[in-house]
Amino acid sequence: MNKEEIIEALKTIIEPYSEELTALAHIDENTDFINDLKINSANLVDIVLDIEEKFNIEIDNDSMAKMLTIKATTEIIAQKLEAHAR
């Protein structure tokens, strides 16, 4: 899975947790879950769990700590997928 495919899959996961339609429509690497998408922090956990299920990976606490932007999240997913494939 390349970066663009990961971002596309992420968009689908994130959509139900944000009401910021304009920000959702313009998601890019720099989009911030809390500042731009106004996602409730308790729902960030749901996003992490959805990612684990969708990509069949495990997100450890240190990785979760960084998952506040699309960029950081995409990087973590790519790393975990790569480690998985080895």
Partner 1 sequence: MLGNDIVDLNLAKTQSNWRRKNYLGKIFTVEEQLLITSAEKPDEMVWLLWSMKESAYKIHNRKTGIRNFAPKSLNCTIYPNTDQVKGTVSIDKDTYFTKSKIQSKYIHTIATPIYSKLKEIKVSIYEVPNHPCDYKRTKPGSVSHHGQYLALVY
- 73 class by beta-carbon count within 10 Å (0-12 exposed, 13-18 middle, 19+ buried): buried
Residue 2 CB, shortest distance to partner 1, in Å, is 25
**11 φ/ψ angles, rounded to the nearest 5 degrees:** -55, -45
Q: Which is nearer to partner 1, 28 or 60 (CB)?
A: 60
Which pair of structure tokens corresponds to residue 52?
Answer: 């684990």
22-81 residues near partner 1, rule: CB under 8 A: 40-46, 48-49, 52, 61, 64-68
Q: Which residues of this protein are in contact with partner 1, per CB under 8 A?
A: 40-46, 48-49, 52, 61, 64-68
